[in-house]
Amino acid sequence: MVKVGIVGASGYVGGELLRILLGHPEAEIVSVTSRQHVGEYVFKVHPNLKGMTSLQFTAEDPLTVASKVDVIFLAVPHGVSCKITPKLAETGVKIVDMSADFRLKDAAEYQKWYGWSHPAPDLLEKFVYGLPELHREELKNTSLVAVPGCMATAAIVSLAPLAKAGLLDGPIFVDAKIGSSGAGGKPSLSTHFSERFGVVRVYKPVGHRHTGEIEQELKYVSGKKFKVGMTAHAVNMVRGILTTSHAIVSSKPEASKIWKAYRSMYTSEPFVRFIMDKKGLYKYPDPKITIGSNFADVGFEVDPYVERVVVFGAIDNLIKGAAGNAVQSMNIMLKFDEREGLNFPALHPV
């Protein structure tokens, strides 16, 4: 059994990590911290875990946690992780960082997308971008993982094979739709039910921070710099992301080539599904069909009229978009079966 700790376990991502790790046959959770809930039972904050665990939140600082565990998950806000990670990394503990602080390789990109000067740029290249579909081999040989952003995950997994196969010319317009859980557990007017119910609310029309990750990873697989324009919408659901990418192509690829690109990259992937039915309800990826699972569903359509391919990526933002992807990365890093603890299907209907 590997010992794990979770720093900042009271948020939705922390709760989902707990849910998954409690069912992981090789993991033992030995410390979960939350400043706000010190001494409280975990199930008081995450009511779905009642009857599943008697863990309590502690106020242990990250270094203390690190001294007790093999793997530490950081579910802390952006800007916090980069302050505590340098010392943590020195201890040799394996770190899985859920924040954005080590996703980008180039410190200048933090300035560009976050308006922010990175305090520990030397660590950036030591972190592996925790997307197994692109970085499995690196994950096997690292102890530092930066878990991708949720919308970035949906976009990258769905677009990478086309980029890698040279089928896209760019730019790429990523039109993203996301549920409320992506905004976290803190109440505000924007998440007030009467105001949030039924919206199709544009909350980040341009300049979304995940753009940097998407560009970085598409370049990683293709060697080519794609410009990405992202627009993010909040829609009327709690979990789920769909990215609809309108990807410019100068000469339209045949559908068979795109399928070949997907297959050549993902055939053995345990958590990527090709959605390709020509009839019925499930013709294209839909987050509804991923809720509760670690699957990323991908699909596409070539536009016969305009010079674009439309590419779809659907995930459960808290699982493949966060905690599930984190555990999948941990499994690889620890040489476990990659599916360990994650081998559950989505709920349907839900």
Alpha carbons within 13 A on the beta-carbon side of 196: 18
* Catalytic residue set: 150
Q: Which is nearer to a copy of itself, 3 or 233 (CB)?
A: 233
25 binds a copy of itself (CB under 8 A): no
| In the complex, least distance from residue 346 CB atom to a copy of itself, rounded to whole angstroms | 4
CA distance 35 to 64: 14
Tell me the C-alpha to C-alpha distance, in Å, between residue 178 and each of 124, 236, 317, 347.
Answer: 28, 8, 8, 18
Please report, as residue ranges, which positions from 116 to 175 form the binding site for a copy of itself (by CB under 8 A). 171, 173, 175
111 scored as a contact of a copy of itself (CB under 8 A):
no
Residues 321-350 that bind a copy of itself (CB under 8 A): 343-350
**Considering only residues 39, 141, 193, 256, which one is a binding residue for a copy of itself as defined by CB under 8 A?**
193
Cβ–Cβ under 8 Å, residues 73 and 4: yes
Question: Between 161 and 313, whose beta carbon lies closer to a copy of itself?
Answer: 313
- Choice between 15 and 62, CB closer to a copy of itself: 15
Contacts of 243 (CB under 8 A, 6+ apart): 151, 154, 155, 158, 174, 175, 176, 177, 311, 312, 313, 314
Among 191, 219, 257, 340, contact with a copy of itself (rule: CB under 8 A): 191
Residue type, 233: H
Radius of gyration of the chain (CA): 20
| Contact (Cβ atoms closer than 8 angstroms) between residue 55 and residue 41 | yes
Q: Which of residues 45-64 bind a copy of itself (CB under 8 A)?
A: 46-52
| 39 contributes a contact to a copy of itself by CB under 8 A | no
Does residue 192 belong to the site contacting a copy of itself (CB under 8 A)? Answer: yes
The secondary structure element, H or E, covering residue 72 is strand 71-74
Pick the closer one to a copy of itself by CB: 82 or 152: 152
- Residue 161 CA to residue 212 CA, distance in Å, equals 18
Stretch that binds a copy of itself, among 79-87, 144-152, 153-161, 303-311 (CB under 8 A): 303-311
* Sole binder of a copy of itself in the list 140, 225, 227, 263 (CB under 8 A): 227
Q: Which is nearer to a copy of itself, 21 or 128 (CB)?
A: 21
Among 77, 259, 273, 334, binds a copy of itself (CB under 8 A): 273
Nearest-approach distance from CB 59 to a copy of itself, in angstroms: 20
Q: What is the CA 52 to chain-centroid distance, rounded?
A: 25
